[in-house]
């Protein structure tokens, strides 16, 4: 059995709920405020760990109250934090999230996440069968160094290029599996996409990405499911009908679940089906990392 190594961000999510999102310059009354452990790296690591994979997180925290709370939470979820450093003089990553009618807006303040370095990702000893996961909430140079080491060891690399930002082909060349939503796909492919577009539009955009034809590209489409391009051939995995409460961690849940399944030796198609089911459970609960499902819950969803 392989292991999952996630190099990524660790945040405290400060979540405000309201009946609707404010317009620019407008103030609206909120309903509640919550503090949830989050950050794309932490979310993905928690998802993988709760779904049965041996999971280590590589990252940085500030020596502040949020940092202490995040460390305690992640250890309780079964995530190995031996490769997470506490840094003095800088705050832990923080995300300000507004949720209204199940949709969210997010402002991320990186803090200690911006200091995750090539030295940090040089620490783990990767092996064939392991899965290396990262996202764009830590420096891209660090991700490149991480994936180069993973490739040299024969590990599978998964990139979640979120939040959407420019990246060079030299990084994408190191990626085996790319997982992104329609906004991120449109940004990297240089075309405007909406979640209501026909599947053919997503397939066309995915084929325009500067990657080799043998890559796997997974486009997460929320309630519409997942469109996967595997070896250039498209495959649509239908969405699951659920009542969404908070979509904040859905994409991260998908990434972590897919990584866990691959580390456990599952075939890519089966892993995609499993990750799709896991994400459908995640959106029915509040919070990012705390909403990640257990293996038993996903098994129940797949075989009711």
Name the residues annotated as catalytic.
252
Q: Is residue 40 a known part of a binding site?
A: yes
Q: According to the annotation, is 215 in a ligand binding site?
A: no
Would the annotation count 253 as a binding residue? no
Return the structure tokens found at 31. Answer: 């309903």
Overall size of the chain counted in residues: 304
223 assigned to a ligand binding site:
yes
Q: Which runs of consecutive H residues, i.e. helices, occur in the chain? A: 40-50, 65-76, 118-121, 140-153, 169-172, 182-189, 199-207, 250-263, 268-282, 295-302
Give 293's DSSP letter. P
Q: Are 58 and 84 in contact (CB under 8 A)?
A: yes
222 assigned ligand-binding residue: yes
Enumerate the β-bridge partners of residue 33. 16
Q: 221: annotated binding-site residue?
A: yes
Q: Binding residue per annotation — 286?
A: no
Instruction: Provide the token pair at 220.
Output: 């997460």
Name the helix (H) or strand (E) containing 206: helix 199-207
160 carries a ligand binding annotation = no
Confirm whether residue 297 is marked as ligand binding: no
**Residue 265 burial (C-beta neighbours within 10 Å; 0-12, 13-18, 19+):** exposed
Q: Is 287 annotated as a binding residue?
A: yes
State CA 73 to chain mean position distance: 18
Annotated binding site for ATP: 181, 220-225, 251-252, 276
Annotated binding site for K(+): 246, 248, 282, 285, 287, 291
Annotated binding site for substrate: 11-13, 39-43, 137, 252
Annotated binding site: 11-13, 39-43, 137, 181, 220-225, 246, 248, 251-252, 276, 282, 285, 287, 291
């Amino acid at each position: 059995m392989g292991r999952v190594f996630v190099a990524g961000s660790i945040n405290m999510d400060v979540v405000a709920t309201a009946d609707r999102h404010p317009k620019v310059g407008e103030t609206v009354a909120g309903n509640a405020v919550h503090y949830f452990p989050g950050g794309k790296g932490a979310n993905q690591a928690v998802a993988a760990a709760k779904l049965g994979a041996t999971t280590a997180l590589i990252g940085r925290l500030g020596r502040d109250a949020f940092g202490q709370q995040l460390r305690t939470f992640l250890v309780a979820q079964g995530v190995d934090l031996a490769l997470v450093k506490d840094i003095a003089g800088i705050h832990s990553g923080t995300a300000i999230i507004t949720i209204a009618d199940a949709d969210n807006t997010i402002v991320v303040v990186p803090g200690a996440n911006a200091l995750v370095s090539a030295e940090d990702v040089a620490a783990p000893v990767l092996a064939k069968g392991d899965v290396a996961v990262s996202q764009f909430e830590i420096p891209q140079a660090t991700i490149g160094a991480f994936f180069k080491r993973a490739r040299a060891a024969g590990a599978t690399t998964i990139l979640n290029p979120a939040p959407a930002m420019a990246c060079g082909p030299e990084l994408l060349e190191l990626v085996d599996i790319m997982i992104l939503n329609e906004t991120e796909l449109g940004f990297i492919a240089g075309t405007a996409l909406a979640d209501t577009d026909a599947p053919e539009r997503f397939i066309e955009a995915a084929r325009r990405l500067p990657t080799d034809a043998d890559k796997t590209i997974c486009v997460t489409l929320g309630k519409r499911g997942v469109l996967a391009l595997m070896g250039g051939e498209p495959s649509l995995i239908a969405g699951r009908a659920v009542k969404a409460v908070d979509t904040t961690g859905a994409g991260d849940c998908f990434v972590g679940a897919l990584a866990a399944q691959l580390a456990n030796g599952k075939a890519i198609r089966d892993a995609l089906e499993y990750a799709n089911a896991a994400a459908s459970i995640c959106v029915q609960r509040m919070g990012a990392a705390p909403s990640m499902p257990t293996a038993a819950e996903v098994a129940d969803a797949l075989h009711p």
